[in-house]
Structure 1
């Protein structure tokens, strides 16, 4: 158990089950070891979390303000504009997706710059080209996306239909003028800043 915990603690990236199996042997149950470690960490300010296909030590959300006050925080997600967040959300739910498909979803062209910013932040990547005429690139989320949003896999994304049922999200609202206006307002602000 201590070898597993030490390996995860020392790693800069999430540690996969395969790596942990090499550390303790294939006959050991990784799930039972992880459960035992989590039991020992109860009441501590950090936990062992499944994220991006592996395991990682992460501080508990209750301590986020204290950590930010002491050492600052990772502001990557906060640096995204509303348009970028919406496009990223659509890519995460409907991947692989082309820029033209994103544009038709929003009823407005999605700029190459917006896609470039998301790629530069390593939140999305290119996939094989679409078989449609012109063979445009398709986009998918990356491991960094999973890390940034604390997801183990894409199956951990909130269920789209459940969000609609709870009144937190609406396909109609996504397709309505409110988002198009939001995209246009952000473009106008960007032009004014130039």
Structure 2
């Protein structure tokens, strides 16, 4: 490896370590002088080299959509989470069911979500998901009333540690809910900033009744709604 390529790799690694969020190649290019930037292929080569170097380490280079971040591996979650001063945020069953329906059926309208859940969707739930930037309006259905169509965002992939929507468990491969819950709990416990007050501020106060807004672990209910999808 040439000295220039080695230095490029070091620069990209340093940027990923301090960024606090996944970086796209376009974002990485902004670090360099406009008159002499590296090529996109050179940056991709540097990323590939980092992936190889991190292959046997306790941290990994994870791709999220078209961006990358450095994170601790899932297997170390039981130890890392003991450092957290606050518990990771927990959300109501109603909010997570709504998010799961959007993730698996997108684009969907509020009416589509209500058809699956069998109950009305609180406006506060939609506002909360939009506020967290886990969903966004992706269009309008051309029917009377012109309801908004919702889909997930890159922030959704980042929060649930997914490279793409293809990594969501397929409905046909539904397994024991406890196993799935444990797996996703490990993912969420490793989310950068999951233990901070900003995440903890998201609680069950999303406008549903007390009976429905239960204090349930975030990932468990995200998968539970797939049972309704199969009916």
Class of the TM-score when normalised by the shorter of the 2 chains: 0.7 to 0.9
Superposition TM-score, scaled by structure 2 size: 0.63
Deviation at 1:113, TM superposition (A): 2.5
Q: Could you tell me which runs of 5 or more consecutive residues in structure 1 were left unpaired when the two chains were aligned.
A: 169-185
Partner SS, residue 110 of structure 1 = coil
Q: Partners of 1:42 and 1:157 in 2: how far apart?
A: 23
Residue number among 107, 114, 128 corresponding to 1:103 in the alignment: 114
Alpha-carbon distance change, 129 to 118 in structure 1, aligned in 2, over 3 angstroms: same
Q: Comparing both structures, which one devotes a greater share of its residues to helix? A: 1
Where 2:61 maps in the other structure, the secondary structure is: strand
Q: 1:118 to 1:28 in 2, by over 3 A?
A: closer
Task: Tell me which stretches of 4 or more aligned residues in structure 1 moved more than 6 Å.
Answer: none
Change beyond 3 A, Cα 1:38–1:72: farther
State the partner residue of 2:39: 26
Distance 1:74 1:130, change over 3 A: farther
For residues 21 and 156 of structure 1, the distance between their equivalents in structure 2, rounded to whole angstroms, comes to: 28
2:59 alignment partner, one of 22, 28, 46: 46
The TM-score with structure 1 as length reference comes to 0.74
Q: Distance in 2 between matches of 1:97 and 1:147?
A: 21
Match of 1:58 among 71, 75, 79: 71
Structure 1's 73 and 18: CA in aligned 2 closer, same or farther, altered over 3 A? Answer: farther
Q: Which runs of 5+ in 2 are unaligned?
A: 1-8, 178-207, 214-231
CA RMSD across the alignment = 2.8
Alignment equivalent of 1:70, drawn from 70, 83, 86: 83
**C-alpha distance in 1 between matches for 2:118 and 2:162:** 29
Q: Does the 8 A contact of 1:14 with 1:52 survive in 2?
A: no
